[in-house]
């Protein structure tokens, strides 16, 4: 699809949300409050001091499967908004999505035999540790590196570059897929509690969100930082 074919700076923010109500989570992470009346996307972005192009790019990524962001539309000045959004997403996953799934898993495994209970608990605990390490690396190494480049034109992390992040950047949804398959394929057939279906729906939703989160990092963040590194050489 062509950039901003559906979502444009001139459209009303309320119409954008009506086009895809899942974008409400984007507003929540950015800190955009509801009650924006008839204001356009551009007006709301200006009010919240966020790049309209970046906001539309994020919304297009979340709404359209085949959308490819055009990073040339962005500038290095957009990087703080990108890292801010990614940090807010980490908080959203850690305080909203994962606790919600974890609570339901506790309810589900309480009715299972000890073998299946230990199996699911182990998969979830392993995944929780993987996610925590992934987010900590970005927040403690990657984002400060970017902030240092923007502020000083160089970084004190002399042995680090965004290419190292790119090389080691793994998608953190794979263990979720394993957990999903266990719940679908291997739990006893006679255990078809409604919560089993609810958990699967929640896992599919967060899995989709994480894929888009990774796309923002791989296609937007890394590309912009590579340009910044080149310009600072």
The tens digit of pLDDT for each residue in 61-81 reads 999 988 989 899 999 999 999
Within a domain: 7: no
119 lies in the same domain as 29: no
Percent of the chain scored above 90 by pLDDT? 54
Q: Of the given ranges (62-76, 96-110, 152-166, 193-207), which has the lowest mean pLDDT?
A: 152-166
226 lies in the same domain as 130: yes
Within a domain: 95: yes
89 lies in the same domain as 144: yes
Within a domain: 105: yes
Q: How confident is the model at residue 86 (pLDDT cuts 50, 70, 90)?
A: very high
Number of domains in the chain: 2
150 lies in the same domain as 46: no
43 lies in the same domain as 131: no
Q: In this model, does residue 192 exceed pLDDT 70?
A: no
Q: In this model, does residue 170 exceed pLDDT 80?
A: no
Distance of CA 147 to the CA centre of its chain: 20
Q: Of the given ranges (30-34, 44-48, 55-59, 116-120), which has the lowest mean pLDDT?
A: 116-120
Q: Please, what is the end-to-end C-alpha distance for the chain in angstroms?
A: 35
Which of 23, 57, 72 lies at the terminal end of a domain, its last residue? Answer: 72
67 lies in the same domain as 95: no
Q: In this model, does residue 229 exceed pLDDT 70?
A: yes
What pLDDT is stored for residue 95 in this prediction?
93
Q: In this model, does residue 2 exceed pLDDT 50?
A: no
112 lies in the same domain as 225: yes
- Name the phi and psi angles at 191, rounded to 5: -95, 90
Q: In this model, does residue 3 exceed pLDDT 60?
A: no
Question: In this predicted model, what pLDDT tens digit does every residue of 94-143 receive, in sequence order?
Answer: 999 999 999 998 888 888 888 888 888 888 888 888 889 999 999 999 99
Within a domain: 209: yes
Take residue 215 and report the two structure tokens written for it. Answer: 């796309």
Structural domain including 45 reads 13-72
pTM, to two decimals:
0.88
31 lies in the same domain as 83: no
| DSSP track, 128-196 | HHHHHHHHHHIIIIIHHHHHHHHHHSS-S-TT--HHHHHHH---TTHHHHHHHHIIIIIS-TT---HHH
65 lies in the same domain as 121: no
User: Is the C-alpha dihedral spanning 60, 61, 62, 63 positive or negative?
Assistant: positive
């Amino acid at each position: 699809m062509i950039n901003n074919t559906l979502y444009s700076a001139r459209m009303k923010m309320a119409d954008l949300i009506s086009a895809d109500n899942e974008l409400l989570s984007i507003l929540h992470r950015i800190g955009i409050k509801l009650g924006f009346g008839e204001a356009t996307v551009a007006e709301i972005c200006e009010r919240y001091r966020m790049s309209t192009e970046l906001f539309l790019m994020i919304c297009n990524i979340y709404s359209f499967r085949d959308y490819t962001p055009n990073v040339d539309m962005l500038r290095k000045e957009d990087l703080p908004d990108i890292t801010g959004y990614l940090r807010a997403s980490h908080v959203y996953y850690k305080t909203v999505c994962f606790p919600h799934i974890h609570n339901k898993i506790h309810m589900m495994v309480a009715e299972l035999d000890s073998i299946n209970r230990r199996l699911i608990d182990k998969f979830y605990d392993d995944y929780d540790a993987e996610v925590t390490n992934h987010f900590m690396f970005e927040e403690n190494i990657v984002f400060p590196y970017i902030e240092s480049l923007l502020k000083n034109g160089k970084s004190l992390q002399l042995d680090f570059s965004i290419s190292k992040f790119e090389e080691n950047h793994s998608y953190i949804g794979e263990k979720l897929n394993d957990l999903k398959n266990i719940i679908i394929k291997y739990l006893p057939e006679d255990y078809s509690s409604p919560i089993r279906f609810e958990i699967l729906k929640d896992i599919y939703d967060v899995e989709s969100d994480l894929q888009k989160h990774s796309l923002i990092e791989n296609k937007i963040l890394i590309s912009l930082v590579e340009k910044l590194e080149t310009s600072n050489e």
